[in-house]
Amino acid sequence: MAIAGEDILLEEGESKGRYVYRNDGAEAEMTFSKAGAALLIIDHTGVPDVFRGQGVGAALVLRGVEDARKAGKRILPLCPFAAAQFRRHPEWADVLEGR
């Protein structure tokens, strides 16, 4: 199952936000904190078992990368899953904080 960026919702507040994918009553999320106007800190990625192995977590991180790139922001991936995705995708280095 391929997850498209438009299938992922962005819920955003003043200091925090999350990307959410919902399907059949289940919900996966990637949460982040805002550190100033130009830095997002990814702090958690949660994918329920029903979505495991379908690329949902990777799609959440990719959507965050795409949005950060469009907005001229940088990402600090503190979440171990998100950090692993950045290691697998050197083409995301343009938005990686501290590279």
State the Cα–Cα distance between residues 70 and 60, nearest whole angstrom.
16
CATH number at residue 11: 3.40.630.30
pLDDT recorded at residue 8 = 95
CA dihedral 80, 59, 71, 87 (to 10 degrees): 40
pLDDT recorded at residue 64 = 97
pLDDT recorded at residue 1 = 53
CA dihedral 85, 90, 93, 96 (to 10 degrees): 20
pLDDT recorded at residue 6 = 80
- Are 28 and 60 in contact by the 8 Å Cβ rule? The answer is yes
Domain that holds residue 30: 5-95
The overall pTM is greater than 0.85: yes
Q: What is the pLDDT of residues 57-75, one digit of tens each?
A: 999 999 999 999 999 999 9
Look at the chain and report how many structural domains it folds into: 1
Rg (Cα) of the chain, in Å, rounded?
13
Q: Low-confidence residues of the chain, pLDDT below 50?
A: none
